[in-house]
Amino acid sequence: MLYRLTKSKFVLGLQCEKALYLDVYKPQLAWFSPETLSRFRRGRDFEASMKALFPNGIDIIQQLSRNIQRYPELTAQLLEKPGEVTLYEAGFVYNEVLVLADVVHKDADGNLSVYEIKNALSVKEVFRRDVCIQHYVIDGSLSSSALRLTSFCILYNDGNDNACYEELLPQAREAEPLIARQVAHFHEVLQGLEPQVPQGAQCSDPYDCPYRRYCEGQTAVQLDLGLKD
């Protein structure tokens, strides 16, 4: 099954529903600035260094490469094994939403601790949304298993490439009804036509939108046709 809604697409949809729609149906229109690509690289480097804090992990990417649709199946199989296990990029699916968790550790009693790694000096609001959608999916996917989600931490940069932690599980649990409503709404958005959203602050907050050039081009055409004051 091809999952239209993922963690990154959910967060993008919170920024702009039109961007979400384009990311699903017209991803070839995305454009990332050199600064954004550099930020991505720094984030990947920091993430790799932080994963070293969780040794002997099984990297789902190395197991399945880009076959992301199979990540949840392999993740479930590995978590069902007795004893401790640590997974990198573990996949979970619930209500047709797919998320990949940076680090998941299962202890011998079946308790799961999840870690989201961010190369930032503080826990931004957008990171909290990221954790909330992950919690919604992971907790939902575990509803029929003996596993229990007991911790969900943001791991971020102290300024010297060392780890700081903040526990967000209580906040994520509290946000679950809101996340459920937002997921249902985004499923509806993706079943309709391309949303018409005027340009505004959401084009650069909290991130530069990868579809900004597309929207600016549309505006230019409207101006040429005399369709906009």
- Count other Cβ atoms within 10 Å, centred on residue 18: 22
Kindly report, residue by residue over 69-121, the tens digit of the pLDDT.
899 999 999 999 999 999 999 999 999 999 999 999 999 999 999 999 999 99
> Would you say residue 104 lies in a domain?
yes
Name the residue range of residue 47's domain.
Answer: 5-11+33-194
> Would you say residue 64 lies in a domain?
yes
pTM score, two decimals?
Answer: 0.91
> Would you say residue 107 lies in a domain?
yes
Residue-level pLDDT at 227: 41
Q: In this structure, what token pair is assigned to residue 61?
A: 């990417």
Kindly report, residue by residue over 199-210, the tens digit of the pLDDT.
999 999 999 999
Q: Distance between CA atoms of 129 and 144, rounded to whole angstroms?
A: 25
**Taking residues 163-192, what's their average pLDDT?**
97
Kindly report, residue by residue over 130-169, the tens digit of the pLDDT.
999 999 999 999 998 999 999 999 999 999 999 999 999 9
Q: At a CB cut-off of 8 Å and minimum separation 6, what does 67 contact?
A: none
The DSSP secondary structure of 39-54, one letter per residue, reads HHHHHHHHHHHHHTTS
pLDDT band at 225 (very low <50, low <70, confident <90, very high): very low
In the numeric block, the tokens 């967000």 are attached to 168
Per the CB < 8 A criterion, the answer to whether 105 and 84 are in contact is: yes
> Would you say residue 50 lies in a domain?
yes
Verify cis geometry, omega within 30 degrees of 0, for the bond prior to 206.
Answer: yes
> Would you say residue 200 lies in a domain?
no
Q: Distance between CA atoms of 171 and 136, rounded to whole angstroms?
A: 11
Residue-level pLDDT at 86: 98
> Would you say residue 177 lies in a domain?
yes
**Which backbone phi and psi does 168 adopt, to 5 degrees?**
-120, 10
pLDDT band at 218 (very low <50, low <70, confident <90, very high): low
pLDDT band at 126 (very low <50, low <70, confident <90, very high): very high
> Would you say residue 205 lies in a domain?
no
pLDDT band at 2 (very low <50, low <70, confident <90, very high): low
Per the CB < 8 A criterion, the answer to whether 150 and 111 are in contact is: yes
> Would you say residue 210 lies in a domain?
no
pLDDT band at 4 (very low <50, low <70, confident <90, very high): confident
For the chain, percent of residues with pLDDT exceeding 70: 93
Total domains in the chain come to 1
Q: 1-5, 63-67, 81-85, 89-93 — which is least confidently predicted?
A: 1-5
Q: What is the mean pLDDT of the chain?
A: 93
In the numeric block, the tokens 């957008």 are attached to 126
Per the CB < 8 A criterion, the answer to whether 216 and 199 are in contact is: yes
Residue-level pLDDT at 66: 85
